[in-house]
Amino acid sequence: MRTDLAASYGEERLPRYTSYPTAPHFSPAIGPDTYAEWLAGLPAGASASLYLHVPFCREMCWYCGCHTQIVRRDGLIAAYQRTLRSEIAQVSETIGRRIKVEHIHFGGGTPTIMAPEAFAELMAAMRHSFFVLPSAEIAVEIDPRTLTSEMVEAMRLSGVNRASLGVQSFDPVVQRAINRVQSYEQTASVVDRLHGAGINGINFDLIYGLPHQTVASCLDTVRRSLELGPDRFSVFGYAHVPDFKKHQRMINEAALPDGLARHDQACAIANALKEAGYVQIGLDHFARPDDAMAVAFEERTLRRNFQGYTTDKGEVLLGFGASAIGHLPQGYVQNQVQIGAYAQSIAVGRLATAKGYGLTDDDRLRADIIERIMCEFSADLGDICARHGAEPEAMLQSAARLKPLISDGIVRLDGDRLAVASDSRFLVRSVAAAFDAHLDPAKQLHSRAV
């Protein structure tokens, strides 16, 4: 990987492209009535994925970029769970039929902060309102510091088959600097209990670019993680946006690695995981060769949505909970971010949609190009444009940001086929951004390109 390119492009703030257009372009012009129309207009054979956002944690991790709040009283969590159940029934009734569900993902916050019986009730509510396929992937994000044996049993009985564990770093110096002290032994115990419950799909989340982090500490975290044998890794660069996330001001900016150091950390982690036999999936995922995600990458069927890379082929993602985002063929919707406003909408029988975006034909074309670049490091512009009734020449002419990428050897263009050079794949977001007609370089709310 080329350090000269990391220095040239690494400081630019760019989206992670889990959607196109990205969430900052959502507008309150898309509200509950529009969402209801979109739901009622779903095709008869449509299947869906469900995302449930649980915005509560016991304590704040200072690196966190999620919509979450700290709670001590379980009554607030129980009330929120009841609101989620009401919203699930409301959305299903608006659709007008019990559609198939292929994926369910619990995100947060800490979804396992719910009482075990409340989690089981929520799963039962989803199975009542939707036809959850027997083959469905049901995934839950977990904080290993707070997971109880009772919750593991509730997950087992509810059909959970994948767990995503936040690890970030095993370096105690880094852990103290980000207010997330989590021992290796705690993480290992959770992995053992999940396996004992038959929950064998295990993801680890790692982060580079954290305060006091070094290449050596990153490699030690990878080494210790490999001992626990997860089948997937997600490796993210820390996004320091203290103006947007006030709690990040608790992090000492002087202790943060610069762009080149972040680049070295990312490369070291990627090389160590590949040497251990994992396949690199797109920008930031790694999977065992026989894992479904690695197979999808090989077969060029990998997709990207708000959870990152996914094997989910569906065009309908229904989001539940405060701040949750959904994706339908017509566009994107996002619920009220504030928990009180979200709950009030649901309580009066009104969808909680606060804003969204209606897709144009040009958006759909660019979304397909960006998704293929993010998933495959390449895009057949001729084929994609043909499916959308567009001309690849016109698309290339509109991508002014592509020219320096070609000049610097980051991108190769062979006719209408675009490919990211193998030593420049860490800049795939920069390549995707060349096709982003909505990108405003003046806005700095995104994470660094490296």
Dump pLDDT digits (tens) for 261-271: 998 999 999 99
**pLDDT: is 282 or 122 the higher one?**
122
Which among 408, 404, 391, 393 is positioned nearest to 433, based on CA atoms?
404
Q: Is the pLDDT of residue 445 over 80?
A: no
Q: Is the pLDDT of residue 308 over 80?
A: yes
SS3 call for 424: helix
DSSP codes joined into one string, 132-175: EEEEEEEEEEE-TTT--HHHHHHHHHTT--EEEEEEE---HHHH
Residues 197, 56: Cα–Cα separation, whole Å: 25
Give the per-residue pLDDT at 399: 92
* Number of Cβ atoms within 10 Å of the Cβ of 444: 11
Residues 206, 227: Cα–Cα separation, whole Å: 15
DSSP codes joined into one string, 105-132: EEEES-GGGS-HHHHHHHHHHHHHHSEE
Residues 134, 101: Cα–Cα separation, whole Å: 9
Cβ atoms of 85 and 351 closer than 8 Å: no
Write out the CATH class of domain 18-325. Answer: alpha beta
Give the per-residue pLDDT at 12: 79
Model confidence pLDDT, tens digit, residues 244-267: 889 999 999 999 999 889 989 999
Q: Are strands 100-108 and 47-54 parallel, antiparallel or unpaired?
A: parallel
Burial class of 54 by CB neighbour count within 10 A (0 to 12, 13 to 18, 19+) = buried
Domain 1-17+361-450 sits in CATH at 1.10.10.920
Cβ atoms of 215 and 222 closer than 8 Å: no
**pLDDT: is 242 or 440 the higher one?**
242
Identical fold between 1-17+361-450 and 18-325: no
SS3 call for 285: strand
Domain boundaries, the chain: 1-17+361-450, 18-325
Model confidence pLDDT, tens digit, residues 194-223: 999 999 999 999 999 999 999 999 999 999
Under the banding of pLDDT at 50, 70 and 90, the label for residue 243 is confident
Give the per-residue pLDDT at 447: 54
224: Cα separation from own chain's centroid = 24
At which residue do the structure tokens 């966190």 appear?
64
Residues 18, 9: Cα–Cα separation, whole Å: 20
Residues 148, 155: Cα–Cα separation, whole Å: 11
Residue 14 structure tokens: 């760019």
> Which residues lie closer than 8 Å to 421 by C-beta, 6 or more apart?
409, 410, 411, 412
> How large is the angle between the packed helices 74-95 and 339-347, nearest 10 degrees?
50
